[in-house]
Amino acid sequence: MGYWEILLLFLIIAFVYSSVGFGGGSSYLAVLAMYSLPYQEIRLTALICNVIVVVGGVYIYIKNKQVDWKKILPITFVSVPMAYLGATLKMSQETFFLILGITLIIAAILLWVRTEVKSEEKSTEASKQSILRNSFLGGGIGFLSGLVGIGGGIFLSPLLNLLKWDTPRKIAATSSVFILVNSISGIFGQLSKLSVDMDYFRILSLCLAVLIGGQIGSRMSLKWNPLIIKRMTAVLVLVAGINILIKYW
């Protein structure tokens, strides 16, 4: 896969995902993992691209008052330091790709499973959530997010839907905020131990590609079917996960 092909793929991923309020971090990882880049560069690039794409969606959710801070804080309060801890953890490249491969396969399964969706009109008031459960859930996903270089929404959103945590719109808003704060925390963790092998021009150009794609997508607000995007992502992520395990097992 050539350099310009990766730029184009990143632009397309950002365009499609931003049009429905997603970040696309798992897809960035899947593409980069198949390009044989240094693993530290893969993690940092995916996290930065996540922030660039998802920040616009978070702004829109906050503006439309879809963010329930009382319910989000227990999840993010623990996840942010855990994401930083995961990002600073030292491990070999082989260990990283092994964890990444397993993570992508699990993420693909979660993405493929279709959860029962409550309509906004018919949804009932959510029951009181356990602060301990939410904190544990956020902390675990946050640590894994920092470890492999994702925002964590790919895990959080399906789990919250399975738990019937809130309406689909509120869960999407929660996932966007979760992705943003954990990606930023993971970036700071990465910056504490930068590698000299990184190609900063490549990182910058990929960030520019997702910025362009994300801005176009968020403004067009295309009526993509979120389930179709989830299933397409699941296939891409599954193939990448299997290839990684075959290569580094």
**For residue 125, what pLDDT is reported?**
44
DSSP-assigned states of every residue in 103-158: HHHHHHHHHHSPPP---TTTPPPPPPPPHHHHHHHHHHHHHHHHHHT--SHHHHHH
Q: What mean pLDDT comes out for the span 24-52? A: 84
| 91, part of any domain | yes
Predicted pLDDT at 91: 84
The model carries a pTM of 0.83
Q: Are 40 and 198 in contact (CB under 8 A)?
A: yes
Please provide the average confidence, as pLDDT, over all residues in the chain.
Answer: 81
Mean pLDDT of 185-211: 86
Q: Above 80 in pLDDT, residue 225?
A: no
Mean local confidence (pLDDT), 113-118: 57
**How far is it, in rounded angstroms, from Cα 76 to Cα 88?**
18
Task: Evaluate whether 34 touches 240 at the Cβ level (below 8 Å).
Answer: yes
In a domain, 244, yes or no: yes
Q: What is the pLDDT of residues 49-80, one digit of tens each?
A: 989 988 877 888 888 888 888 888 888 999 99
Chain center to CA of 130? 24
Q: Is a pLDDT exceeding 90 seen at residue 84?
A: yes
pLDDT-derived band at 122, boundaries 50, 70, 90: very low
The answer to whether residue 129 sits within a structural domain is no
Q: Assess if residue 125 is contained within a domain.
A: no
Looking at residue 124, its pLDDT comes to: 40
Mean pLDDT of the region 134-152: 89
Q: Looking at the predicted structure, is the pLDDT value of residue 21 above 90?
A: no
- Distance, CA of 127 to CA of 234 (rounded, Å): 30
122 in any annotated domain: no
Q: Is residue 120 part of a domain?
A: no
Which pLDDT score, from 0 to 100, does residue 226 have?
65
Residue 161 lies in a domain: yes
Task: State the residue range of the domain holding 73.
Answer: 3-115+135-248
Asked if residue 67 belongs to a domain, the reply is yes
Segment 218-232 shows an average pLDDT of 66
96 touches 195 (CB < 8 A): no
Q: How many domains does the chain have?
A: 1
Residues of the chain with pLDDT > 90, as a percent, come to 18
Determine the average pLDDT of the residues in 29-58. Answer: 85
